[in-house]
Amino acid sequence: MVDIADRKPASSAAEPKERRPLPRWVITCISIACLLGLWEIFGRQVNPVFGSYPSAIAVAFWELARTGELWSALYESLRPFFAGYLLAVLLGVPIGLIIGRFRTAEAAFGIYVTAGYAMPLVALVPLLVLWMGLGFAVKASIVFLMALFPICINTWLGVIAVPKTLIEVGKSFVAPNHVILRRIVLPATLPYIMAGVRLAVGRAVVAMVIAEFFTTISGLGAIIINSANNFDTATMFVPIIVLMVMAIGLNSLIGYVERKVAPWQAEIAGRERE
Amino acid sequence: MGEVTFLDVSKRFALRVDGVLHHVQALDRVSFTVNDGEIVALIGPSGCGKTTALRVAMGLDFSTSGRVTVDGREVRGCGHDRGMVFQHAELLPWLSALQNVMFGLEMKGMRGGELRDTAEKYLDLVGLKESQNRRPHQLSGGMKQRVGIARALAIDPSVLLMDEPFGALDAQTRESLQAELLEIQARTGKTVIFVTHDLDEAVLIADRIIVMKGGRVHEIMTVPIARPRPDLGVVRGTAEFAETRYKVWRALHDQDTVVH
């Protein structure tokens, strides 16, 4: 008895206090701070033509922002970007659903989607320019073509992964095909669709810059090319970083939308991770 | 209203296992009749064709020859005259319990206030009115299957087809759902055909037990216990229960068919 009474407080004192894990955003911020710090230290030792470092890029950013050059370039870039990207989502999802759901459609068109994903689009840009000129249309088309296929393929794979029994639920209640597609296949495929929509952001950003390099030199791509030609490496990094930050923003926006339209998914999928 | 007839139903299909093509005779000239308001259990070793028989009756699978009729009409696909309860409930995970029940009703063409009222009524019937707004993953296994039953019953089918409905549940939940099923059947008078591999369950619930082996009807047995059976605990203690259970067990272990 005495033994136990003695030990009890000791053991409870030894028990580790429940520690709240660091919030994810804190970890991310620490990671960014470390990266910027290291970049700053090592970047300063390099000839400014061959490399740059965060503080110099920040100064260049301020300069571009102050003159308004950055904002007008950003606006010019984002118009074809969103036009092409949204069209890719709007068309890619239904195409993927149909190819995944109907074996005739899959046999007839699946091969083009697979091939289209690997299409060397840069090589086709000159041809697209011949068709559409150098303006908005050709840029939006390049973004569209790059973003369409990952969305299509992911949706398609998602449809294939829908449990057969869920479709049988629809059948057993005599749901017509289009209702099964819309009310069972579509929601069941949403996580895959959202993954495709996210992957497409990256591809669309790349496509946008390609478009600005190879059609009319304009927007953020123009800032990159002009500053590179002037050996102004710090300024060249500004649009690159702006684009990456924008991609991160879009990704979290998509994540937010996903949690809104598919709340059950976040509830089912465990976030239990080490 | 609710008579199901199997007439010489056969089904063959090809199955590729490790690159070798096997022909499986899932059903071999299966014939039996289930009367209106009757509860019939299909029992047998796995691969005996009991689930295939149920799926053919539902219209989810098709027979190679022979036919199934419900109230004299030949089954040519799924229909609202039959309600299916799946083995793992198979609720749509993005819909609440209530919406899952409503889904079946909407497919039948019901709209508006009547839709919601009917769905609520059937959730109430299975004792889930309180949990109607929960999504499937917020429900226990037993609750999910209750929603599955409510969804099938709500469309007011003349026949309820159940594929091992309680097979995935723990013993206590299974027993309470068995009692509930009997009670609901007594109230609604539906014809029930259910697949099971549980001897006790077959004898407790069914009026007749169809023992299947190798795709054939091996034996049809009548359970000599009158319904309603308000207390299944009492039924378990009766001599008829023990006797029937033993008879079914013997039928399942007959050596005339080699069971793999």
- ipTM for this prediction: 0.89
Which residue of B78, B83, B88 is in closest CB contact with A171? B78
Contact residues, chain B, for A173 at CB < 8 Å:
78, 80, 103-104, 107-108, 155
Six token digits for residue A185: 């296949």
Residue B134 near chain A (CB below 8 Å)? no
Q: Give residue B8's pLDDT band: very low, low, confident or very high (50, 70, 90).
A: very high
Nearest chain B alpha carbon to A163 = B90
Q: Phi then psi for A144, rounded to 5 degrees?
A: -60, -50
pLDDT computed for residue B237 by the predictor = 92
| Mean pLDDT, residues A54-82 | 91
Other Cβ atoms less than 10 A from the Cβ of B130: the count is: 10
C-alpha closest to that of B228 among B189, B201, B171: B189
Residue of chain B with shortest Cα separation from A269: B137
Among partner residues B59, B90, B94, which is closest to A165 by beta-carbon distance? B90
Interchain CB distance below 8 Å, A183 and B103: yes
Q: Mind listing the pLDDT tens digit for each residue in B15-58?
A: 888 888 888 899 999 999 999 999 999 999 988 999 999 999 99
What residues of chain A, 172 to 201, have a C-beta less than 8 Å from chain B? 172-175, 179, 183-184, 187-188
So what's the pLDDT on residue A14?
A: 52
- For A117-132, how does the pLDDT look when each residue is reduced to its tens digit (9 = 90+)? 998 888 888 899 999 9
Share above pLDDT 90 across residues of chain A, in percent, rounded to a whole number: 59
Alpha carbon B202 to its chain's center: 11
Are B90 and A262 inside 8 Å of each other by CB? no
Q: What's the gap in Å between the CA of A248 and the closest CA on chain B?
A: 28
Beta pairing partners, A46: none
> Inter-chain contact B137–A264, Cβ cutoff 8 Å?
yes
- Looking at chain B, the whole-number percentage of residues with pLDDT higher than 90 is 80
* Subunit contact A184:B92, Cβ cutoff 8 A: yes
In terms of Cβ atoms closer than 10 Å to its own Cβ (0-12, 13-18, 19+), residue B23 is exposed
State chain B's mean pLDDT as an integer: 92
Distance of alpha carbon A104 from alpha carbon A36, whole angstroms: 53
Task: Please give the single-letter amino acid code of residue A109.
Answer: F
Q: Give the rounded distance of the alpha carbon of A4 from its chain centre.
A: 59
Q: Which pLDDT score is estimated for B2?
A: 87
Task: Inform me whether the pLDDT recorded for A9 exceeds 50.
Answer: no
The DSSP bridge partners found for residue B41 are: B194, B209
pLDDT tens, residue by residue, B101-154: 999 999 999 998 899 999 999 999 888 989 999 999 999 999 999 999 999 999
* pLDDT greater than 80 at residue B166: yes
The one-letter amino acid code at A73 reads A
- Rounded to the nearest 5°, which phi and psi values hold at B234? -65, -40
Measured between alpha carbons, how far is B34 from A186 in angstroms, rounded to an integer? Answer: 38
Reported pTM: 0.83
Q: Which residues pair with B149 in a beta bridge?
A: none
Residue type, A91: L
- Report which residue type is found at A39: W
CB contact under 8 A, A264 and B93: yes
* pLDDT tens per residue, range A161-219: 999 999 999 999 999 999 999 999 999 999 999 999 999 999 999 999 999 988 888 88
Contact present, B170 and B145 (Cβ < 8 Å): no
pLDDT of residue A258: 86
Looking at the complex, report in whole angstroms how far the Cα of residue A196 sits from the nearest Cα belonging to chain B. 20
Query: What's the distance, CA A94 to chain centroid?
Result: 20
* Contact flag A264-B135 (C-beta cutoff 8 Å): yes
Q: Which residue has the tokens 């000129």?
A: A133
